[in-house]
Amino acid sequence: MTPTKIDALVVDDNPDAAQSLALFLEADGYEVHTAFSGEEAVDALSRFQPLCVFLDFQMPGMDGLTLAQHIKQQFGEDVILVAYTGMTESNARIAEVFNVVDHYFIKPIPHTEIRKIFPPRTSAEQT
């Protein structure tokens, strides 16, 4: 089965945070799917091929680093990886994930930064 192409997969163990980011991206014209754990994200990646994955670094079970490494192995450079965390950049494990992803942010991610990666779509682009 060929995965369905979507614009973004948002992965966060906090459902409110995941859904909030997904709603923001959807309001700008993007097709988004959410997952609430690294394991759910791996399952979603078998069904969807996202252009971009927004992933929380600090999740129980499969954390953001492990997930980012899995995505890079599966898709290579074909997927934009955006990691975010509430932890400080001085944490050694965070520095490690920041070397794997394309963009990284300390929470909360400013909407202006998201729009640098995903500018709002016009009506013509959404059809």
Beta bridge partners of 106: 85
**If you search the block for the tokens 């979603």, which residue do you land on?**
44
Q: Domain count for the chain, please give it.
A: 1
CB atoms within 10 A of CB 88: 8
What percent of the chain shows pLDDT beyond 70? Answer: 90
Q: What is the CATH number of the domain that holds 85?
A: 3.40.50.2300
Which residue has tokens 């640098």? 116
For the entire predicted model, the pTM comes to 0.90
pLDDT band (50, 70, 90) for residue 124: low
Pairwise CA distance, residues 21 & 34, whole Å: 9
Residue 98 reports pLDDT greater than 80 = no
pLDDT tens for residues 44-93?
999 999 999 999 988 999 988 899 999 999 888 899 999 998 876 666 67
77 to 15, 43, 102: CA distances (angstroms): 27, 20, 9
| Sign of the alpha-carbon dihedral angle for 42, 47, 49, 50 | negative
* Structural domain boundaries, residue 91: 4-126
What's the whole-number average pLDDT of the chain? 89
